[in-house]
């Protein structure tokens, strides 16, 4: 049975005048018919399904609709059309260091993040030391979060998230952070998780990483699904060719 | 429902803790401010208004305190609740958590503050020579309904605040107006019966009046009075929940 299934998922995104305008501006523009809202399809008819233990890499240039698609899969947004079927628990790590609070300590932030990911307090109590060790932040335990470097922050985020055993794990540009040593460690950890049966979705601009890790691949361009399949090598090559043609 | 409560209890606790910590960050007196600031406000009002209105009124301090107590809870709860959604945009655009938790967390804080001030209020009653009767138990009625009323208003405000930031300025003017219309420091006895009835349209006045009736007059408000309070709560809570339901997945376009 498929763990995650998307059938003809389309997402209409709205942007335009309604953002950052006040009440007066809003009324003025409404009255003078100057109020414009642009609608566009961030994703159009995306269809794929993933099985247990699959590792999906999503590629595509900026604005291809990758992050929006992840938000729909995570349940933060609703698809305008189509169906998303999830069979199991889901943990999403979108833009890692957001959602942390600079005034709280490392420990408090770890707990808050753990709570957001759906852990129990008991689980956090038991694993907090492990999390710190993995992130190499033992000495920073009670430091305010804002004193940490951005690399440290994402290390903590990854460590908290990687301990969970969700059925579906979503990672957005996660592995592009941290120094070389941590990168190797986190890649190893992810492989271990995949082996454990977690279905993972990874968005990355590093084709090298996708080639090394993924078992399936989805290529999006301007919201259109260009390709989906398990022939990672071939699709990566096509994508590379596409990129070099574009750059010419 | 129970399963849901259990599932989100951990994150809720963590949010409450975070909000507490952030609120009293870099304050020398910390939580004492929650008691101190309404007391100082009371002191100012007592000194100023005794000159104009308080003469000849029995238990004027208690009368004033009833108004102040209710009104500060309302204005603190709604004023802070307003920014609860925007302030957590970084979280709800990235993680799928129920958005009302952010507001509830702020409300818990306001409720605890209210509880602390309530204790001080009873001490003042004692000093003012108020006799405590069993009827004081009934104070739980206005307290609970005010709590739900505040949640309802908070839901509406925090949703509106996402769409229009003007709301905060409009709201601060509105609360000021409401304060003057809530008979906090004056009595409405000298107005015509028609005018007096108009005051009943103000939900905050209802709560204040309930408190005064129980504490100062030791009488229980009528059934109609209760129904009126209930109606106010149902209306705001209904609108608030409807807004959150309708815009649940649309808020993120606006932040």
Q: Is B163 at the interface with chain A, CB within 8 A?
A: yes
Q: Give me the pLDDT at residue A37, please.
A: 75
Average pLDDT of the segment spanning B50-65: 79
Instruction: Give the nearest chain B residue to A98 (CA atoms).
Output: B90
With an 8 Å Cβ cutoff, are A13 and B253 in contact?
A: yes
Owning domain of residue B134: 33-253
With an 8 Å Cβ cutoff, are A76 and B94 in contact?
A: yes
pLDDT at A90 over 70: yes
With an 8 Å Cβ cutoff, are A120 and B91 in contact?
A: no
Q: Chain A residues with CB inside 8 Å of B93's CB?
A: 71, 76
Is B177 within a domain?
Answer: yes
pLDDT at A152 over 70: yes
Contact indicator for B225, B206 with CB cutoff of 8 Å: yes
Is B22 within a domain?
Answer: no
Is B161 within a domain?
Answer: yes
Q: Is B86 at the interface with chain A, CB within 8 A?
A: no
What is the per-residue pLDDT across B130-156, written as a single tens digit (0 to 9) for each?
A: 989 999 999 999 999 999 999 999 999
Contact indicator for A18, A26 with CB cutoff of 8 Å: yes
Q: Chain B residues with CB inside 8 Å of A67's CB?
A: none
Q: Is B14 at the interface with chain A, CB within 8 A?
A: yes
**Closest approach of B201 to chain A, Cα-based (Å):** 27
Is B221 within a domain?
Answer: yes
Q: Which residues of B50-83 are buried (b: 16+ CB within 10 A; e: fewer)?
A: eeebbeeeebbbbbbbbbbbbbbbbbbbbbbbbb
Q: Give me the pLDDT at residue A20, please.
A: 65
Instruction: Give the nearest chain B residue to A78 (CA atoms).
Output: B249
Is B17 within a domain?
Answer: no
pLDDT at B172 over 90: yes
Q: Chain A residues with CB inside 8 Å of B165's CB?
A: 22
Is B9 within a domain?
Answer: no
Q: Is B96 at the interface with chain A, CB within 8 A?
A: yes
pLDDT at B178 over 90: yes
Q: Is B21 at the interface with chain A, CB within 8 A?
A: yes
What is the per-residue pLDDT across A162-187, written as a single tens digit (0 to 9) for each?
A: 777 778 888 876 655 667 778 788 77
pTM: 0.86
List Cβ neighbours of B176 (8 Å cut-off, separation of 6 or more): none
pLDDT interval class at A149 (50, 70, 90): confident
Chain A, 42-101: which have a CB under 8 Å from a chain B CB? 71, 74-78, 92, 94-95, 98-99, 101
**Closest approach of A58 to chain B, Cα-based (Å):** 18
pLDDT at A210 over 70: yes
Instruction: Give the nearest chain A residue to B11 (CA atoms).
Output: A115
With an 8 Å Cβ cutoff, are A76 and B96 in contact?
A: yes
With an 8 Å Cβ cutoff, are B95 and A76 in contact?
A: yes
Is B24 within a domain?
Answer: no
Which of A42-46, A67-71, A155-159, B214-218 is most confident?
A: B214-218
Q: Is the ipTM here above 0.85?
A: no
Q: Give me the pLDDT at residue A95, please.
A: 66
pLDDT at A33 over 80: no
Mean pLDDT of chain A: 82
Task: Return d(Cα A109, Cα A173) in angstroms, integer.
Answer: 20
Average pLDDT of the segment spanning A73-91: 85
With an 8 Å Cβ cutoff, are A119 and B10 in contact?
A: yes
Say if strands A199-203 and A90-93 run parallel, antiparallel, or are unpaired.
unpaired
Q: Chain A residues with CB inside 8 Å of B253's CB?
A: 13-15, 18-19
Is B1 within a domain?
Answer: no
pLDDT at B189 over 80: yes
pLDDT at B83 over 80: yes
Percentages helix, strand, coil for chain B, rounded to the nearest 5?
80, 0, 20
Q: Chain B residues with CB inside 8 Å of A30's CB?
A: none
Task: Return d(Cα A35, Cα A216) in angstroms, integer.
Answer: 43
Chain B, 167-226: which have a CB under 8 Å from a chain A CB? 167, 170
Q: Is B93 at the interface with chain A, CB within 8 A?
A: yes
With an 8 Å Cβ cutoff, are A103 and B21 in contact?
A: yes
What is the domain count for chain B? 1
Three-state SS at B129: coil
Instruction: Give the nearest chain B residue to A74 (CA atoms).
Output: B96
List Cβ neighbours of A145 (8 Å cut-off, separation of 6 or more): A100, A101, A102, A103, A104, A105, A106, A109, A153
Instruction: Pick the range with the lowest mean pLDDT from A134-143, A153-162, A236-245, B194-203.
Output: A153-162
């Amino acid at each position: 049975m498929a763990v995650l299934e998307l059938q003809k998922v389309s997402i209409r995104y709205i942007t335009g005048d309604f953002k950052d305008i006040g009440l007066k501006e809003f009324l003025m523009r409404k009255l003078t018919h100057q109020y414009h809202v642009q609608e566009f399809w961030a994703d159009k008819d995306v269809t794929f399904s993933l099985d247990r233990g699959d590792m999906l890499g999503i590629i595509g240039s900026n604005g291809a609709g990758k992050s929006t698609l992840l938000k729909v899969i995570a349940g933060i947004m609703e698809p305008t059309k189509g169906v998303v079927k999830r069979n199991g628990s889901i943990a999403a790590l979108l833009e890692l260091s957001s959602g942390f609070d600079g005034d709280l300590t490392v420990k408090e932030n770890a707990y808050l993040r753990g709570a957001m990911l759906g852990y129990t307090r008991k689980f956090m109590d038991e694993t907090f030391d492990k999390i710190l060790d993995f992130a190499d932040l033992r000495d920073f335990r009670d430091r305010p979060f804002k004193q940490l470097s951005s690399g440290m922050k994402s290390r903590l985020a990854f460590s908290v998230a990687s301990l969970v055993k969700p059925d579906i794990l979503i990672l957005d540009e996660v592995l592009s952070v941290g120094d070389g040593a941590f990168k190797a460690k986190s890649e190893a950890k992810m492989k271990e998780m995949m082996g454990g049966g977690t279905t993972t979705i990874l968005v990355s601009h590093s084709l090298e990483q996708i080639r090394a890790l993924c078992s399936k691949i989805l290529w999006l361009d301007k919201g259109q699904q260009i390709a989906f399949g398990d022939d990672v090598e071939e699709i990566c090559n096509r994508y590379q060719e596409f990129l070099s043609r574009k750059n010419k | 429902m129970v399963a849901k409560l259990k599932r989100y209890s951990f994150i809720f606790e963590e949010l409450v803790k975070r909000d507490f910590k952030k609120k009293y960050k870099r304050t020398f007196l910390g939580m004492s401010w929650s008691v101190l600031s309404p007391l100082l406000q009371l002191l100012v009002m007592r000194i100023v208004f005794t000159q104009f209105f308080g003469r000849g009124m029995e238990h004027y301090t208690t009368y004033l305190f009833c108004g102040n107590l209710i009104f500060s809870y309302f204005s603190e709860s709604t004023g802070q609740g307003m920014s609860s959604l925007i302030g957590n945009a970084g979280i709800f655009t990235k993680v799928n958590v129920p958005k009302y938790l952010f507001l509830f967390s702020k409300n818990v804080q306001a409720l605890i503050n209210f509880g602390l001030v309530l204790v001080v209020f009873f001490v003042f009653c004692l000093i003012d020579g108020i006799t405590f009767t069993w009827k004081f138990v009934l104070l739980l009625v206005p307290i609970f309904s005010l709590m739900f009323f505040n949640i309802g208003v908070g839901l509406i405000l925090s949703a509106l605040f996402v769409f229009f930031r003007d709301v905060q300025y409009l709201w601060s003017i509105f609360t000021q107006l409401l304060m003057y219309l809530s008979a906090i420091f004056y009595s409405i006895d000298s107005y015509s019966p028609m005018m007096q009835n108009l005051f009943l349209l103000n939900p905050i006045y209802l709560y204040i009046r309930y408190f005064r009736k129980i504490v100062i007059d030791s009488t229980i408000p009528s059934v109609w009075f209760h129904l009126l309070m209930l109606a106010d709560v149902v209306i705001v809570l209904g609108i608030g929940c409807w807004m959150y339901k309708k815009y649940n997945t649309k808020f993120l376009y606006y932040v």
